[in-house]
Amino acid sequence: MTELRYIRFTTADVPTPRWGTRRAARVHVLAQAPWTDASETGVVVAAADATLLAPAEPTKIVALGYNYRDLFEDPAARTSAREAHFTDPGFEPVLFVKGPNCLAGPTARVALRADATEVWVEVEVAAVIGQRARNLADTAAARAAVFGVTVGNDITALNVLGRDWHLARSKSLDGFCPLGPELVRGFDDADRHMRTTVDGRVMQDSTTANRVLDTYASVLFLSRLMTLEPGDVVMTGTPRGARQALVHVGSRATLEIAGLGTLVTEFVAEGAS
């Protein structure tokens, strides 16, 4: 399949989010979200006038943890997973859900609450669902259900667990899931270099080939647990190194997946975003 690249954006004169395809210095506006109607309206805007938004419209963001083989090379990480090794029968990744409030664009600044004192970033392949997926039969059906992929940042505040003592609070603060810059259809993400730098220092350096469940296996797994709706996002996990990718107010995190894009997240104090 030929790669097709889409953006979601606003402009100063049209604050309502729109979808488009960016070609050179221009954005060609689409009729609707591309999984619904990717036809062009004939309206063209200057790319310089477009403020990029997260390229998804989720009812939910579903994420997998401990889905990279290189995590199990670290004894401390394996112990903290409290899960079977990925080679053991019955292995499943950790599963959690982030709300749409977490969504942030590729140019958004993320505000850090004063009580979020141990925050890190995680580079991930994020799949955007294009058609309803429930009890899919196989990975071919999962492939058909995925519209495209983008770069995701699963921000985590380890110390914000609260009485829940699980991932709901630490993963679900406002702005804790930046996506972008583009939603790419027809992209082969099977073996792509991925890297995280924080303030210029490399924190994660791996490949998507290290995933236990790839994009389509992840969607297949989730479809047998819950219905995935068009626009929903599936975060397919992060490789080792996230726990050292700590950020604070003033930090700049750069997340890259080769060929897919670069996602930059800056962190500010709450009230400054």
Looking at residue 12, which CATH number applies to its domain? 2.30.30
The per-residue pLDDT for range 213-270, each reduced to its tens digit, is 999 999 999 999 999 999 999 999 999 999 999 999 999 999 999 999 999 999 999 8
Among 146, 174, 147, smallest CA distance to 160 is for: 174
Does pLDDT of 119 surpass 70?
A: yes
Same domain, 77 and 198: yes
Does pLDDT of 33 surpass 60?
A: yes
**Local confidence band at 151 (pLDDT 50, 70, 90 cut-offs):** very high
Does pLDDT of 209 surpass 70?
A: yes
Q: Longest Cα pair distance anywhere in the chain, in angstroms?
A: 56
Same domain, 122 and 147: yes
Same domain, 145 and 44: no
Same domain, 29 and 66: no
The CA distance from 193 to 206, in Å, is 6
Residue-range definition of the domain harbouring residue 16? 4-52
Residue 41: partners with Cβ closer than 8 Å, 6 or more residues away: 29, 30, 31
For 178-214, give the DSSP string: EEEEEEEES---TT-EEEEEETTEEEEEEEGGGBSS-
Mean pLDDT, residues 109-129: 95
Looking at residue 163, which CATH number applies to its domain? 3.90.850.10
Same domain, 192 and 105: yes
- How many domains, in total, are found in the chain? 2
Same domain, 25 and 67: no
Same domain, 30 and 89: no
User: What's at 8, amino acid-wise?
Assistant: R
Task: Give pLDDT, residue 258.
Answer: 98
* Alpha-carbon distance values, 261 to 35, 69, 106, 126, 240 (Å): 20, 23, 10, 12, 20
Same domain, 22 and 46: yes
Distance of CA 126 to the CA centre of its chain: 4
Distance of CA 122 to the CA centre of its chain: 9
Q: How many CB atoms lie within 10 A of CB 12?
A: 8
Does pLDDT of 84 surpass 90?
A: no
The CA distance from 188 to 242, in Å, is 24
Q: β-pairing, 156-157 with 177-185?
A: unpaired
Task: Give pLDDT, residue 78.
Answer: 57
Task: Give pLDDT, residue 1.
Answer: 72
Beta bridge partners, 266, equal 109, 252
Among 217, 85, 203, 205, smallest CA distance to 138 is for: 217
Same domain, 35 and 70: no
The CA distance from 53 to 68, in Å, is 28
For 53-67, give the DSSP string: E-S---S-EEEEES-
User: Rounded mean pLDDT of the chain?
Assistant: 93
- Which has the minimum average pLDDT: 6-10, 44-48, 71-75, 206-210? 71-75
**Local confidence band at 77 (pLDDT 50, 70, 90 cut-offs):** low
Among 55, 70, 68, 64, smallest CA distance to 18 is for: 55
Same domain, 109 and 35: no
Task: Give pLDDT, residue 83.
Answer: 58
- Which has the minimum average pLDDT: 39-48, 164-173, 199-208? 164-173
The H-or-E segment that residue 167 falls in is helix 167-171
Mean pLDDT, residues 151-177: 86
Q: Who has greater pLDDT, 81 or 246?
A: 246
> Would you state the structure tokens that stand for residue 145, as one six-digit string?
């259900």
Q: Who has greater pLDDT, 24 or 216?
A: 216
Task: Give pLDDT, residue 25.
Answer: 94
